[in-house]
Each structure stands twice: as structure tokens, then as C-alpha cells.
Amino acid sequence: MPRLFVFLLLCTYFLKSPASTIDKAYKALGEYDYFTAKKLFYSQLKRCPAEAAYGLTTIYYRNDNPFHKLDSAYKYILICKNNFKTLPADKALKLKTTYRLTDSCIAALHDSVCIKAYIVYLKNNNIPSAEKYASTYYESNYINDVLCRRDSLVFNEVKKNMQSGIIINYIKTYPQSCYLPNALQLLEYAIYQEITLPKNDSAYLNYIKQYPNTKYTQQAKEELLTYYIEHKSIAGIYYCIKNINPSYYAWNTLFSLEVKDYTEKNLHGFLDKYPDYPDKQQLEEEFTYWKIPLLSVKHKGKYGFADTTGRIYIEPLYDDVEDFNEGFSLAEKNNLYGYINKAGRVKIDFTYKNATSFNHQVAIVQPGNKGVYLIDHSGKKVSAEYDEIADFVDNAAIVKKDNAFGAINYNGEELIKPTYTYLSDFSENMAAYMQNNKYGFINKQGFSVIAPLYSWVSAFKNNQCRVKVDNRLGVINKKGDFIIQPQYDLIDEAYKGMYLVVKNNLYGFIDTSGCFLSEIKYAYNPSLKTKDLCNGEFMRLIKSNSNKEELQDRNGVKYFSQENLTQIQLGDNDLLAAIRYNKYQFITTGKATLPKTTFNKITTDKTYWYVRNDKGITVYSLDLKKKLFTLKADDIKQIAPNFFTYANDDGTGLINKTGTILLPAFFESATPTLLPDLFYIERKEKGAYFNVNALRFIWQEEGFNPAYIADEE
């Protein structure tokens, strides 16, 4: 309340009537004589509680006197408020006429006290301050906001611990919390994490038995099956089929483990052992084809399939085909998609405008301009329709409907209803979502595990994620705790436990526990990534004042600081290559015996060393103990475990790790197939399959030139 207004009110009254004690108190208040006013108001508190309490509230509310105390101001405004509303009408009218004291004036001062106390609370914004405000200013309009802020602070502490006992205590202590729904969801999540912590079959089975109908039950079932598959447990997989989910994926895995040799005897042995196999008729019909790998081939603009001898198995009748998966090939014909089996029969008609290959027993299809959904192997629709369905990642697919995003599983069930403005692919059971232009993370049960606080986020990898706050990058864990504080201009993806961090165009390294591995003072080159500058044990440090380089290990020990090294190349051990005196040579931090020769250039793909001199390129093992071969070429690249391509002015060729040239450098590309002995070779937009064991082309597209001679003009 403005002082001048109070002063004028008081002066108006005192000019009109003889002064009583309460009048003298208000007069002293109007003259800012707080000592006298306070003493007089106290003396009249029992006789005139409403007007005396109002005066005391004003004194304790103002901060221009030594009595300023908001808690006391609130105490007396409640006395004033409660007494004023019990006054007779004539008495209330007299106070209104004499002091202009009304319900609205009292309410205004009440709100002013609450607002000022609320501002003080916001400056502290901690749990004790919130508790004090809630207990003192219990009729404040801000009480719900303060309690919600308190609940948020307490809940954030609870989330950091992520223990079911602590969460249960929170729920009991704050049963009216605005975060109660979140706490209940978090409790389910914590219980799941605690019970399944061993990550074995007993843990998952225990959870499924104790909690058969929670949001995490399905995840436990999926992880149980994954566990049995990883451990190749036939009994475990069959248990999942019989008791949890008889999916094609589980049956297919069981079949591959049971049937090692594709014979009629083994087939019937499998069917006798598992009479409940769901696709018995199809299996018997197609079994003879299962053991035959088929390769897509092109003839006169149409696609079909051939076997590994080059014999056509499925006539080239289609505009396009994809490789077989789960016994089906996605094929295109007359701008529509359908599915064929290895016998060449159409299993699902060509009725779809868009479609994907089968994966985990389902495919994504779009029959018209709108409406996308999942189908199973029979072509049956197994999900709702959506505007879009993304590819499955981490056992979930992001869906879009009416510009909102959600997620489904392979069964077509909605894990998360489409309510989000943005939802990323899942990674390690976490997906980024957006709220108020900030990113947070939810799990597959739709629970917000990490609040939306970040302007940018990466996907989770090894339980960590890079985030941006106020245009600065940091790293958090799955609890939202900072492993690396957000203070860097750039943080590259971690490589072998090391993060490359950049600040003010200078770089250094921090490990995945948040410990500094080097100073942040080295010359950053945007073309170099983390894997170019470290190998998990050693870090390549480029001095900012000279561009000379040195090496440092994880323990802080530096190497070659006094030498003039540049362009260091790190292998996966203590061997490295660098330019010294304008020539490349090998160097070691250990005691390995090294070639004393210098070279024109040395590079590595972290699997081999590629050493260039005037005679050509020599390929060495990473420990330099084995020389694979030397070849005159412009470039050599590994494309498969035992094979390399090499290039010169004439084109690209194929060579094995013993140095035997399999194909001369005549072609445009050589690409590995799913079969280790077959490569797809291209020249002038024509293709062929080459068998590296037989050293011959087993199939050639019409117009492909296999001869190592110049094409006719």
C-alpha cells in the first residue's frame, strides 16, 4: 500500500475527531514513527483486533523499519482478516468510514505479504524454504505453486537415487504431490530395474511372475527371449514360445538352432519334436529351397533370382526385388508391391503402394495414399493405421498420426500413444521427445525418465548421451546426472571410453567417467574425429603454437614432446606412424622392433597398416609382425575379412590377403554379398556375381563385359 495514501487517510481522520489510542497509533504510522505505532497497536490488539492487527501487518510488511518481518506480517493479517469478518455491520461500516478498512483492502495487503514472501522463497528455491512457506503462508494463492516446486525438488532427488524404497517413502510422505503419477510410474520402472538387474533368465522370470500386468512385463518377456537366443538355449526359447509369445522370430531361431543340416530326416525330426510349429505346411513346401541361397539378378530391366551356380530359380518378372528375409522377398510389379517365396509363388498379392521387407514376422505396408499399418506372414493386418510408421529400431517403431508421434512394438501394440510433437528412434530403451522446444527422454512405457531441459540431444550409447544447454554441450547418464558439465562448444561421440571436447577452438580429452585426460589447449581441426585422435589408450595432441604433435597416455605420461612429429596415425596398440623430417616412419612407445625405412605415406583403418613407397602399397598387420602383400596401386581398401579392393587409373580390382589378384583393376566397384565367397561386380551400370573360390563369374547381366579389354566404342 503506498505510504502517501495511508498518510492522507490518517490525516483526514485526525482532522475530524478527537484522538483515541488506535487513532494515535495510525497517526504515528502515518508519520513513520514505527516504534510508537507498534507499541500503541500492541496495546489495542485485544480491544480492537481488526484495526490493530492491520496496523501491525503494515509495520512488519514494510522494509523501511527495523521490525520488518514477513512471517509476523502474515500472522497479523490473518488476525485482522478473521476478526474483521465477524464484526457487526455497523462496526465494519465505522472502520470503513474512519480508516477506509474494507475486505478488499485486507485482501490486497494479504496478497502483498504473500507475494513478497513468495519472491523471497524463489530466491532460495530449496526444500526447507518451500516447507516453511507452506506451513506459514497456508492461505496464500501461491501455495500450490510452492508445493509443486517443493515436490519437484524432492522428486528430482528421488529420481537421482532411483530406488524403489526411496520412491515409496516419497509417495507416503507426499500423497498429494503433483508428481504422484510420475512417482508411481517411476516406482514401476525402479522395481523392474532392481529385479532384472542380474540380466539373466531367473531375474526376468521372477519379474514376470511377480508383476504379470505392468507396463514393463512385455519388456521383460522380450529381454528373456533375447537372453535365451544370445545363450542359444533351445529349452529356453521353446519355453518362451509355449508360455509367453509364439512369435515367428522365436520359432525361426529355434529352427536354426535345431536344424544344422538341411535334410529330409532333420526336417521331419524337427516337426516330430515340435508338432505345434505354426507354419508346418509352408515349411514342408519350401524346405527344399531354404538351403539354397538366392541372389537377385537382372535381365532386360526385370529382376528375379539365381542360385550360387548362376542357374535361374525365379524368372526375372519383377520391376525390383529385395533379398529374402524370413522366407519372403519384397517384390515390385507395375508400381505395386507384394511378397514372393523361394519357390517363386506369390504369397501376398501385389496390392501395396509402399511396403518393407519382413522383420520379426511383420512388414510395414501402405495400400493407398493414406493409412500405413503392419501385416503378418499371412497378410493379416496386425496394427492400427497411422500416417507414417518408421523402421523398427531397438524393437520399437515410431508412428505418426495427425501430426503427433508415438511408438508400437512388433505385435502392433501401442507402447506410446501418438501425443508427442517429436519422438526420436529408441536407443537403449530411451527415445528423445520434445516439449516447449526442449528435449527430454522417455522409456518404452511412456514414462519421462529425463525432463525436457535440453536444446539438442544425441541418442544414448553405452548409457550416456550428449546434450546441449544454453548453447553449450555436456554429457549425461540415464538418470539425467551430468557426467561432463555443459561448458563446451563441441563434444564428439565417444571412442573407446574417450570424449573429444572443444572449447574456444582448442581441444582435449575427458573419459566417460568425467575425468580429464588432458588439458584443453590443443589446436582443433574440424576434419579430425575422436577416432583419428585417440585409440583408447593414447591421445594425439596437436600443439596450438607450432602444429607439432605429441602423444599422451591415459595416465598423463607424454611421449615425443621434444621431437618434430606431425600427422600422427594411431593404431590399436602402442605402435604409431608419423611424419618426421618430412618422411613417414613407424614409432613406438614400447619396445617393439620397427622397420628403419622411411616411407612416402602411412595410413591405417585400425585393422591394417597401409604403407606407401615408390614400389607401391604394402599391407601390414597392426603389430607389424606380418607383411600381407605389396601391390602397385593408387589405393587399397579392405572390404571383407580376407579381401581388399585396389584401384588405379583403369578402375577397381579385387585381391585377397595373400596378395593374389582375383580380378584386375578393370571394374567400377566390388561389393561383398551375404555369402563370403561371392562378390557383386559392376562395370558401366551392368553387374555380375564373381566366385572368389572358383575364380569365375557365376552370373552376368546382359551387356556386362567380363573380358579385361577395352570396351568397343
Average pLDDT of the residues in 270-294: 80
Q: Above 70 in pLDDT, residue 575?
A: yes
User: What is the tally of structural domains in the chain?
Assistant: 4
Q: Can you give the CATH number for the domain in which 668 is found?
A: 2.40.10
Indicate the pLDDT class of residue 532, thresholds 50, 70 and 90. Answer: very high
**Residues in a beta bridge with 646:** 636, 653
What pLDDT score does 19 carry?
A: 54
Q: Are 58 and 105 found together in one domain?
A: yes
Full strand arrangement of the beta sheet holding 388-389: 388-389, 397-401, 404-408, 414-420
Domain annotation covers residue 437: no
Note whether 84 and 174 are same-domain residues.
no
pLDDT of residue 17: 39
The domain boundary, picked from 114, 141, 168, lies at: 141
Q: What is the mean pLDDT of residues 224-230?
A: 92
Cβ-based burial of 422 (10 A; exposed 0-12, middle 13-18, buried ≥19):
middle
Asked if residue 87 belongs to a domain, the reply is yes
**pLDDT for the residue numbered 268:** 84
More confident residue, 292 or 114: 114
Both 185 and 205 in one domain: the answer is: no
Is residue 710 scored above 60 in pLDDT? no
Q: What is the pLDDT of residues 426-440, one digit of tens each?
A: 999 999 999 999 999
Q: At 2, is the pLDDT very low, low, confident or very high (cuts 50, 70, 90)?
A: very low
Average per-residue pLDDT in the chain? 90
Assess whether 181 and 245 both reside in one domain.
no
Nearest to 539 by CA among 496, 509, 564, 515: 509
Among 190, 199, 181, 182, which residue's Cα sits nearest to residue 162? 190
End position of a domain, from candidates 290, 318, 340: 290
**Cell reading at 218:** 512385455
For residue 373, list its beta bridge partners: 365
346 falls within a domain: no
Answer yes or no: is pLDDT of 521 > 90: yes
Q: Is residue 675 part of a domain?
A: yes
Domain residue limits at 684: 639-713
One-letter identity of residue 696: R
Q: Are residues 240 and 255 in the same domain?
A: yes
Angstrom distance (rounded) from CA 625 to CA 612 = 17
pLDDT for the residue 67? 94
- Give yes or no: residues 112 and 184 share one domain: no
148, part of any domain: no
Average pLDDT for residues 481-508, to the nearest whole number?
Answer: 96
| 613 found inside a domain | no
Strand partners, 678: 691
Do residues 121 and 84 share a domain? yes
Question: Residue 708: its pLDDT value, please?
Answer: 59
Q: Is residue 568 part of a domain?
A: no
The residue written with cell numbers 504515528 in the block is 28
Q: How far apart are CA 505 and CA 295, in angstroms?
A: 50
Statement: residue 4 has pLDDT above 50: no
Domain co-membership, 650 together with 685: yes
Q: Are residues 126 and 163 in the same domain?
A: no
CA angle 149–153–154, rounded 5-degree value: 115
Q: Tens digit of pLDDT for each residue in 362-376?
A: 999 999 888 999 999
Is the same domain home to 214 and 248? yes
Q: Tell me which residue has cell 605389396.
A: 630
Alpha helices in 196-325 (DSSP H): 201-210, 217-230, 234-243, 248-258, 264-273, 280-290
Residue 635 binned pLDDT confidence (cut-offs 50, 70, 90) = very high
Domain co-membership, 252 together with 273: yes
pLDDT, one tens digit per residue, over 261-277 is 767 788 888 989 999 98
So what's the pLDDT on residue 156? Answer: 82
Q: Does some domain include residue 352?
A: no
DSSP per-residue string spanning 202-235: HHHHHHHHH-TTSTTHHHHHHHHHHHHHHTT-HH
Read off the pLDDT of each residue in 197-204 and give the average, rounded to a whole number.
Answer: 94
Strand bridging mode 643-648 / 522-523: unpaired
pLDDT score recorded for residue 448: 87
Pair 101, 125 in one domain = yes
